[in-house]
Structure 1
């Protein structure tokens, strides 16, 4: 069995972060979302992995390398334009050959990995196996319709009037039967070749399509709210570890990770918190569910339920919460003008200011 990992796409819902960074490399608990998926694939015993890349190919290649750090053998497969998940299968045809494969969306996060799913597929070997989960608003997802016996009878991509609350999770398993199906479908109203249409084609032609409803945690980390929620979930599992320096005037409470080379001075950290290598927290408070990347500086500030990416600084700005702060960002108070805000914001930014 092989794996096909999708790491293209523009990441428009995470702008402005994704103007300068691949969405799959935005970190949760100081590790790229993509890395969690690659680790899950390796844990399932799959080692040959094709990675679909687009405009951010250079950054993905630099971060992942040849895959050896994950115990994987990586082949990079360019996709000129993000024309749909089924299109990704088409461009990966030479790599996949006639092998079974697991297709994993690189910005998805599944607690517990995919080992059981892969083992089940190997035992039963249907033509396709899909993962489903119940969601409150399925209109933003591919949606499955099951018959009373639990068999998949229909799939629809982002329907205006969903027939169920069962959304497709971004992990699929296929035999080589999928290759004929992806070539038989037409572009959707979105102009893309939808994998839901390809799986529907399998159903319509009598192929065996199985589904598994997962009850564990799953998120598509395509927007800031979900990214912060995944960060919270991962941090709930961290174990306390102080490898850096914490002075006597500071206090660390609960599951706090201070990486080697990090420094905490006259501050209070209440876990779960991760402080990246080379970062410094001085005269500040960092509260639960916060991850601070490498080489950051937090001074005279409060931070909670947030993600701060590497090489950024926050100095004297009071309290920040529920925020995603990018790389090489400087956050400081406005000088000389009372009750004034001075902002430099990229396209598609969102700012909430207390007045």
Structure 2
């Protein structure tokens, strides 16, 4: 049996983080989301087919040496159904299908016992997902996408076991109103013809659709790490709890790290740096003198040299922060931070800092209000309070009138 992982989507709700990488390649706990999925299935299947499209080279370059991974490019038609159909010529009589943007704990063994099955998740807010209704024997009898009045609190968990006849149904489907061939439409047809077992997934599950989902999954994964110190540790360094310091990382003197946290290879931390729980510093990052990082993901190559505070934030690759760059992460009224998602302002979580793309530079004394997004390749001039989203490739600065009077 083989597995198909659907990795072709862009992830527009996660912009600007997905401007230069597909959503499955966003890091949580120090690795791409997709890597965790592959680790879950690699011992259960013969081949793993990654269906790619948007920024496909990022995925191909990362996984090209995996012995079981093969790549299938999705064609011109969008949608999860067409993504699966793209792999048709490689698949046998039965196969696993998994969305490439979920973080989950379930070991999948119960799903594999059935001819056709779908992993289900019980949630408090089902109207935001595909809602599933079961009969008394746990067979799926109905699926409804984002209903205003959900008939259950069980949702589609994005994990499936299918027989090959699902591909015949997909072949005959017409694109939906938004021009996509949807896998859920094929499942609705399959329900009419045969049974699909609904299997409640065990343990943690998260569909990474918004930036704060990424931070939530990052915290979950870090809770499970074990202490492992391999890097170079300077004098008077305090490391508390479960912290991973990879080989070739450097922790300079008088630095404090509170776990759980991950410091990747090539990272340099300190001196006098404070790393607080649920922080990941990816490869070749630098956090310097008197800077503090808390509950944040700092991507590869980013530099936060001195006197800065980054809290509850996600910072892209190769950013460079000027002295005293500060992220606010909490409203005065303690209400959820509001974030612009695809042109609509939505409530997120109580604490959320800045969401920043790649290659952003800040001048000295720059502050970001909670929930602000900054697009890639932007420059933020000195002495600025950024209280609105910044589009990509933008230079923001202010000109103060300076007067000089001779005495």
Q: Give the whole-Å Cα distance in 2 for the aligned partners of 1:47 and 1:342.
A: 53
Match of 2:12 in 1: 12
Match of 1:77 in 2: 72
Say whether the 8 Å CA contact 1:296–1:310 is kept in structure 2.
yes
1:247-266 pair list within 5 angstroms: 247-265=234-252, 266=254
The alignment's C-alpha RMSD in Å is 2.2
| The one of 95, 100, 113 aligned to 1:106 | 100
Q: Give the whole-Å Cα distance in 1 for the aligned partners of 2:246 and 2:85.
A: 43
| The one of 337, 340, 349 aligned to 2:383 | 340
Number of equivalent positions: 336
When residues 204 and 279 of structure 1 are mapped into structure 2, their CA distance, relative to the original with a 3 A threshold, is same
| Cα deviations by residue, 1:305-336 (Å, 9 ceiling, x for unpaired) | 11111100112343221111110011223448
| The one of 197, 219, 233 aligned to 2:220 | 233
Match of 1:291 in 2: 280
Match of 2:298 in 1: 308
Gaps of 5+ in 1: 350-355
Please report the TM-score for the alignment, with normalisation by the length of structure 2.
0.78
Say whether the 8 Å CA contact 1:2–1:99 is kept in structure 2.
no
| Cα deviations by residue, 1:91-131 (Å, 9 ceiling, x for unpaired) | 211111x420101111111114324432x23xxxx2x2001
More helix by share: 1
1:35-54 pair list within 5 angstroms: 35-43=35-43, 45-54=44-53
Match of 2:309 in 1: 319
**Is 1:117 aligned to 2:107, yes or no?**
no
**Is 1:167 aligned to 2:167, yes or no?**
no
Say whether the 8 Å CA contact 1:41–1:47 is kept in structure 2.
no
| Cα deviations by residue, 1:274-319 (Å, 9 ceiling, x for unpaired) | 0011111112111111111011100121111111111001123432
| Cα deviations by residue, 1:191-232 (Å, 9 ceiling, x for unpaired) | 322212111101112x12111012311111222111111111
When residues 78 and 233 of structure 1 are mapped into structure 2, their CA distance, relative to the original with a 3 A threshold, is same
SS at match of 1:316: coil
Q: Give the whole-Å Cα distance in 1 for the aligned partners of 2:161 and 2:261.
A: 35
Q: Give the whole-Å Cα distance in 2 for the aligned partners of 1:327 and 1:82.
A: 31
Q: Give the whole-Å Cα distance in 2 for the aligned partners of 1:280 and 1:48.
A: 38
The alpha carbon displacement at 1:162 in A equals: 2.2
Gaps of 5+ in 2: 325-362, 368-381, 395-407
When residues 196 and 337 of structure 1 are mapped into structure 2, their CA distance, relative to the original with a 3 A threshold, is closer
The alpha carbon displacement at 1:47 in A equals: 2.3
